[in-house]
Structure formats: structure tokens, C-alpha cells
Amino acid sequence: MSKNIIDDKERKELITYRLEQAEKTYQEVGQFIEINSLAAAVNRIYYGMFYGLLALALKHSFETSKHQQLLGWFNKNFINTQKIEINYAKIIQKAFERRMRSDYDAFVDFDKETVTQLYADMRLFLDRIGEEIEK
């Protein structure tokens, strides 16, 4: 966890920024799917959810830029405690795994149906994270 100390005003601004970043990324994904740039869409699907999760973490004074650390924090504090339903952990984990394949494996090819489903899951994830932030 980062030792950065930010005040409440800065924290709220950063949460808003991360949520806006997530929404902008969601819009970009739609454009990538339209032009059949599916590997780029997979990458941005994960990162959009990552930005939403960063906003949730900030709301709870947890700061990190490390993906596994953030996913672990989310699972421990929201999934394991049943504050958020387990299917949301599965959604982001699937997106993370596909993003890793897309970025690091050779000859990865995604079909439009799979990417479109990931995109729909992204919307569900961002909406649920937004609800949790509003609490």
C-alpha cells in the first residue's frame, strides 16, 4: 500500500477522475469492437474495470498501482465478505486473464462474440462498482 497521504477533497477528485477514466475507456472499447480491433478491446476492457476498482479502493483509503494487489484487496474486502457478489470477481478475473493473453501470448485471436460478452460484463462491473462507491 502506498504511503501517500491525500486529503478528502483530493481523494474525491481522484475517485471522480478514475470513474471518468473508466467510462471513457468503456466508450473506447465500443469503438474498438466496431472496427474489429478485438485485442485492443480486450486490453481496454480490463483497464476500464481496473480504473473503476482503483476508484473503489480510493474510497476505502487503499492505494496501489499493482494489479494483483488490487484484485486481492477487492476479493478480501468485498467478495469474501459478500459485500459484492462473487460473479463480479469472476468478471474481472476473466478480463485480467484475457488481457494478459492478449498482451503477452503469441498468435492470440479473439472472436467478436467473446469480446462483445466481455464488453457487456464490463458495463455490469462498472455499474456495480459505482453503486458500491455511492454507499
Q: What is the pTM of this model?
A: 0.91
Is residue 2 over pLDDT 70? no
How many structural domains compose the chain? 1
Is residue 82 over pLDDT 80? yes
Task: Tell me if 117 sits within 8 A of 33, measured CB to CB.
Answer: no
Flag whether 2 is in a domain.
no
Q: pLDDT band at residue 88, thresholds of 50, 70 and 90?
A: very high
Of how many residues is the chain composed?
Answer: 135
Task: Tell me if 125 sits within 8 A of 49, measured CB to CB.
Answer: yes
Query: Cα–Cα distance between 100 and 116 in angstroms, integer?
Result: 18
Query: Cα–Cα distance between 54 and 63 in angstroms, integer?
Result: 8
- Provide mean pLDDT across the span 102-117: 84
Question: What secondary structure, in 3-state letters, does 97-116 show?
Answer: HHHHHHHHCCCCCCCHHHHH
Task: Tell me if 91 sits within 8 A of 126, measured CB to CB.
Answer: no
Flag whether 3 is in a domain.
no
Task: Tell me if 84 sits within 8 A of 128, measured CB to CB.
Answer: yes
Flag whether 1 is in a domain.
no
CATH number for 116 = 1.20.120.330
- The mean pLDDT of the chain is 92
Flag whether 44 is in a domain.
yes
pLDDT number for residue 1: 42
Flag whether 37 is in a domain.
yes
Model confidence pLDDT, tens digit, residues 33-75 = 999 999 999 999 999 999 999 999 999 999 888 999 999 999 9
Flag whether 82 is in a domain.
yes
How many other C-beta atoms lie within 10 A of the C-beta of residue 56? 23
Q: Which of 2-6, 47-51, 105-109 has the highest mean pLDDT?
A: 47-51
pLDDT number for residue 5: 61
Please state the φ and ψ torsions of residue 71, each to the nearest 5 degrees. Answer: -65, -40
List Cα–Cα distances, 101 to 2, 41, 45, in angstroms. 28, 13, 13
Residue-number span of the structural domain to which 43 is assigned: 8-134
Flag whether 129 is in a domain.
yes
